[in-house]
């Protein structure tokens, strides 16, 4: 776009540079003619008649617009030939000059243009009559007279064309002057036809004056034919230009290209000085104001007309036209006069019933030309096509935007982020990395299940806003899908990416309040960088997913990708089918780890743990195959298998007078299964095990997830008489006060605190506080990870009741557990109603 006119244009006042020499030529030639002609003047009645004919013939039958000016096709050559034949030379000059003056004043031209055209007419007529004096006197109508008349008219036309081209070149540049010369060719041909016609009429009139009647009829007919031809010519040109405009607009595509294709063509079609497209701000689209001006190659970002008129069109939804011929709002004429606007037509652009903008043309080229009703109809047709094209382009923009953005958070989606990462990888500068950070929102599923998806959507929108506000301005923040958000940017190193990930996690971590419920927003973050972790966007996205998955196993952590994560992920993928077959074939085992009272070392029960010995991979870690079971829908089968084995052995021990309680770990997802309490009741009945002998252990994050989701299932289990335990307590963000509202019987202190008691006063204080408060709340406390006598003594000192760990025994299969019973339990303590006591501590 061009914001302002860079080239200097001359004013029409400068036309005197051409007008003055023309006037001098007229005076000199007329003076010489007056001296040599005999008589120089006379025949005033005939002169008056020819003056009237010249004024009538001066009305343009066809108008051609060349840049800013109008070139009219007239029949002035006919009366001029008659004047040359019948009038003295100076009378011819006077009549022709007066006719030019009257014609141009009637067309309401500006004074400089009127005087230029009068001087041009006087100079041409004076030079033509002077040249005619060099030929023999005009008598008869033979070929000699034809040659003399053609020579005189040719001089007149040459002066006229050259002077017009000269003044246009002076005022508007050589391109305009060249255009005048190019368009004058057809005018010269028409002038030759007019001269020939005039000579034919002269021959007929010389034969008999009665032929004037027939010639008058013929003249009227020819005038009508000329008018019809001009109308047909204009209609054909309008239809051609209109087709060109609509085709260009249709093929332009985007709204910016539509303005480029539309405005220049509309300005030329309407023969206007200005054509303006105005689109007010709407939704994501800013205000657009572009103008095409004659003689300017580009578009201007301004308009000549007042903005309040365009606003009137938008509000009223109607076309506004102000001009000499058509005026819809005459009260606007003073406003346009102050802005030096001759006439305007502003048409609304509609999308259905809504006005989305306006198309405007101003200042019809040519002083005597003005916009008509037909012009308004043409502009309204163009506006209809333009409005459809603009709406289609905006629809395409919206579809393209929607295809690359998330509808809920308005962030770029995975496709858009992938394209951005691919582009960043291509142009990475030396000494920097392209970092990809994946934020996985914790416990979103529980929010959806407990509060509804509307609340989950609010959480996602809030996280998106916090990420967008906290991320550096150079970062691209997007939503990968579900509860995952991506941030990509350039950084100095992988360490800087890890540091930024931690900072962002802390900054977006804050409470969210939904009605009376307060949630803590936390995320697990995976980090991958190019070129260390991948050479393309797809690989980087895959590996940052692996890093985020690994980070979820440690709540609130930030995990950098490493090749070990990929091998573990591939291994888990391959284990899915093997786990199903292992469950079908009974290849899984249940191991048992004793739970012992710390004060008198009596065996109170065992924790039942699933173990899998894979034929190819060896021992599979429980975290791996439990995760596989969760993601492949086999969690229910795995839980039922462990429950059956635990209750079966508990029944067998009871029959052997060794009544031991069994503890089974539950995944958090199991608490969402409404049928699970029914299964527990059926299994207790099937194996005839008292409910109080079964303890179900749920991790702290699974029980205290910030929602009410697990409470109904926990209450149903409690109503069965089953004991409930909170496992790994202390690793999350909950407190013992929160446990008071849950139907639990036991708290298990996480091994990380128990094992650090002997060396870390902080861990000792934490365990002491948990034991003290739990006892006050009536909850039993089990310490995990008891591995040394010193730890055992410290636990005894603070009053912890039960412990389990390698100090007593590792998890053992059933056969080895029986051997352990024989080696560690004092036989005389095995009696009905009494817990067996351990003989020694290995």
For residue 706, the model assigns a pLDDT of: 54
- Hey, how many other C-beta atoms are within 10 angstroms of the C-beta on 97? 22
- Hey, how many other C-beta atoms are within 10 angstroms of the C-beta on 788? 15
For residue 65, the model assigns a pLDDT of: 47
Predicted confidence (pLDDT) per residue in 370-422, tens digit:
888 888 888 888 888 888 888 887 787 788 888 888 888 889 999 999 999 99
- What are the C-alpha distances in Å from 98 to residues 26, 105, 106, 130? 13, 11, 12, 18
For residue 2, the model assigns a pLDDT of: 34
Residue 562 · residue 544 · CB < 8 Å: no
Beginning with the edge strand found earlier in the chain, give each strand of the sheet holding 484-491 in spatial order.
476-481, 484-491, 433-441, 523-530, 558-560
Strands 780-784 and 802-804, bridge-based pairing: parallel
Q: Which two tokens stand for residue 724?
A: 């409930």
In this structure, is the dihedral angle defined by the CA atoms of residues 358, 363, 366 and 369, taken in order, positive or negative? positive
Find all residues with CB under 8 Å of 571, minimum gap 6, and list them: 617, 624
Residue 783 · residue 818 · CB < 8 Å: no
Task: Supply the DSSP string of 34-63, one letter for each residue.
Answer: HHH-SSSS--HHHHHHHHHHHHHHTS-SEE
For residue 55, the model assigns a pLDDT of: 84
CA-CA-CA-CA dihedral for 725, 726, 727, 731, to nearest 10: -170
Provide the β-strand partners of residue 724: 696
Find all residues with CB under 8 Å of 529, minimum gap 6, and list them: 433, 434, 435, 436, 491, 493, 494, 497, 540
Predicted confidence (pLDDT) per residue in 548-601, tens digit:
888 887 666 788 988 777 666 666 666 777 888 888 888 899 999 999 998 888
- Hey, how many other C-beta atoms are within 10 angstroms of the C-beta on 646? 26
Identify the segments of the chain with pLDDT beneath 50.
1-8, 64-71, 841-842
Burial class from Cβ neighbours inside 10 Å (0-12, 13-18, 19+) for residue 7 reads exposed
Which 3 state secondary structure label does DSSP give 173? Answer: coil
Nearest alpha carbon to residue 386 among 293, 294, 282, 252: 252
Nearest alpha carbon to residue 522 among 462, 606, 608, 565: 462
Residue 246 · residue 385 · CB < 8 Å: yes
């Amino acid at each position: 776009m061009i914001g302002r006119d860079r080239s200097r244009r001359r004013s029409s006042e400068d036309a005197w540079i051409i007008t003055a020499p023309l006037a001098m030529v007229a005076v000199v030639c007329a003076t010489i003619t007056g001296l040599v002609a005999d008589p120089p003047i006379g025949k005033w009645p005939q002169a008056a008649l020819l003056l009237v004919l010249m004024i009538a013939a001066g009305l343009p039958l066809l108008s051609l617009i060349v840049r800013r000016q109008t070139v009219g096709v007239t029949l002035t050559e006919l009366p001029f030939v008659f004047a040359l034949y019948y009038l003295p030379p100076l009378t011819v000059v006077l009549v022709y000059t007066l006719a030019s003056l009257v014609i141009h004043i009637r067309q309401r031209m500006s004074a400089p243009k009127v005087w230029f055209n009068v001087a041009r007419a006087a100079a041409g007529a004076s030079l033509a009559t002077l040249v005619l004096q060099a030929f023999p006197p005009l008598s008869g109508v033979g070929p000699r007279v034809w040659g003399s008349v053609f020579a005189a008219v040719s001089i007149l036309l040459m002066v006229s064309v050259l002077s017009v081209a000269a003044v246009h070149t002076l005022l508007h540049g050589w391109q305009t002057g060249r255009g005048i010369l190019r368009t004058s060719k057809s005018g010269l041909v028409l002038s030759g036809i007019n001269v020939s016609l005039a000579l034919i009429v002269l021959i007929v009139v010389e034969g008999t004056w009665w032929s004037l009647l027939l010639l008058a009829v013929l003249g009227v007919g020819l005038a009508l034919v000329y008018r019809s031809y001009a109308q047909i010519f204009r209609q054909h040109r309008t239809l051609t230009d209109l087709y060109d405009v609509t085709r260009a607009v249709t093929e332009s595509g985007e709204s910016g290209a539509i303005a480029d294709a539309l405005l220049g063509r509309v300005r030329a079609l309407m023969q206007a000085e200005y054509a303006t497209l105005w689109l007010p701000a709407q939704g994501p689209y800013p205000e657009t104001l572009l103008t095409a001006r004659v003689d300017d190659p580009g578009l201007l970002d301004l308009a000549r007309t007042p903005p309040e008129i365009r606003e009137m069109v938008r509000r009223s939804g109607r076309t506004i036209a102000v001009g000499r011929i058509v005026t819809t709002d005459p009260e606007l004429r003073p406003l346009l006069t102050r802005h030096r606007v001759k006439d305007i037509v502003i048409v609304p652009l509609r999308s259905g019933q809504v006005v989305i903008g306006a198309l405007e043309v101003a200042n019809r080229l040519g002083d005597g030309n003005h916009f008509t009703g037909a012009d308004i109809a043409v502009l309204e047709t163009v506006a209809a096509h333009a409005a459809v094209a603009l709406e289609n382009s905006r629809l395409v923009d919206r579809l393209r935007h929607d295809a690359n953005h998330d509808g809920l958070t308005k962030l770029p989606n995975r496709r858009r982020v992938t394209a951005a990462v691919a582009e960043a990888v291509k142009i990475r500068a030396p000494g920097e990395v392209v970092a990809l950070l994946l934020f996985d929102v914790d416990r979103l599923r529980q929010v959806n299940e407990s509060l509804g998806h509307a609340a989950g959507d609010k959480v996602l929108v809030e996280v998106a806003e916090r990420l967008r506000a906290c991320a550096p301005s150079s970062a691209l923040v997007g939503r990968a899908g579900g509860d995952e958000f991506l941030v990509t940017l350039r950084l100095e190193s992988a360490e800087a990416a890890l540091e930024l990930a931690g900072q962002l996690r802390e900054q977006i971590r804050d409470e969210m309040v939904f009605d009376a419920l307060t949630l803590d927003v936390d995320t697990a973050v995976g980090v991958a960088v190019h070129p260390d972790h991948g050479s393309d966007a797809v690989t980087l996205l895959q590996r940052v997913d692996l890093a985020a998955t690994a980070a979820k196993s440690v709540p609130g952590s930030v995990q950098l990708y490493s090749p070990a994560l990929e091998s573990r992920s591939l291994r888990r993928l391959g284990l899915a089918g093997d786990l199903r077959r292992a469950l079908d074939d009974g290849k899984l085992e249940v191991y048992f780890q004793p739970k012992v009272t710390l004060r008198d070392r009596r065996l109170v029960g065992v924790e039942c743990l699933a173990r899998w010995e894979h034929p190819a991979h060896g021992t599979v870690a429980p975290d791996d195959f439990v995760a596989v079971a969760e993601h492949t829908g086999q969690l229910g089968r795995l839980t039922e298998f462990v429950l059956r084995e635990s209750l079966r052995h508990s029944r067998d021990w009871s029959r052997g007078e060794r009544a031991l309680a069994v503890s089974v770990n539950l995944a958090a997802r199991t608490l969402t299964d409404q049928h699970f309490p029914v299964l527990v009741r059926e299994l207790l009945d099937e194996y005839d095990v008292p409910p109080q002998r079964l303890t179900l252990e749920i991790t702290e994050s699974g029980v205290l997830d910030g929602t009410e989701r697990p409470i109904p299932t926990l209450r149903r289990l409690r109503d069965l008489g089953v004991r409930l335990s909170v496992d790994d307590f202390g690793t999350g963000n909950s407190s013992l006060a929160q446990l008071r509202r849950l139907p639990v019987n036991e708290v298990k202190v996480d091994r990380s605190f128990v094992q650090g008691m002997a060396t870390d006063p902080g861990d000792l204080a934490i365990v002491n506080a948990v034991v003290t408060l739990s006892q006050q709340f009536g909850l039993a406390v089990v310490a995990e990870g008891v591995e040394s006598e010193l730890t055992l003594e410290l636990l005894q000192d603070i009053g912890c009741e039960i412990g389990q760990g390698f100090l007593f025994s590792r998890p053992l299969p059933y056969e080895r557990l029986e051997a352990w019973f024989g080696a560690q339990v004092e036989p005389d303590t095995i009696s009905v109603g009494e817990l067996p006591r351990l003989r020694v501590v290995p």
